[in-house]
Amino acid sequence: AQSVSQHNHHVILSEAASLELGCNYSYGGTVNLFWYVQYPGQHLQLLLKYFSGDPLVKGIKGFEAEFIKSKFSFNLRKPSVQWSDTAEYFCAVNARYSSASKIIFGSGTRLSIRP
């Protein structure tokens, strides 16, 4: 069965620090990968996605993620975080050609930024 692991449940950083949130998935076939962000009190918004092509994906607000197929990973990065990045971040995986309407979410990583 497919699964998604986000290793860090809660990350606390100071402003301007660099960020890397881990995401690993278990599925041997072709996948689509997503990072969603949920700001306090708001709904989920797409941060970035990988369907195919360049494994280094750039998203909104300066975020990027790198798909490393050999490691089954899709880690999220940002070189310098801001207080407004305080949110919960979800990694998600869709197994292409397996079940087009099923997407598996990780348990989320709460990011707190100290001003």
The nearer residue to another protein, 76 or 92, going by C-beta atoms, is 92
Q: List contacts with another protein (CB under 8 A).
A: 4, 6, 9, 32, 34, 36, 42-46, 49, 51, 90, 92, 94, 96-97, 100-103, 105-108
The nearer residue to another protein, 34 or 67, going by C-beta atoms, is 34
- Closest contact distance (angstroms) between CB of 114 and another protein is 22
The nearer residue to another protein, 43 or 115, going by C-beta atoms, is 43
DSSP string covering 39-107: -TTS--EEEEEE-SS-SEEE-GGG-EEEEEGGGTEEEEEESS--GGG-EEEEEEEEETTT-TT--EE--
Q: Is residue 94 packed enough to be buried (19+ CB in 10 Å), middle (13-18) or exposed (0-12)? A: buried
- Closest contact distance (angstroms) between CB of 33 and another protein is 11
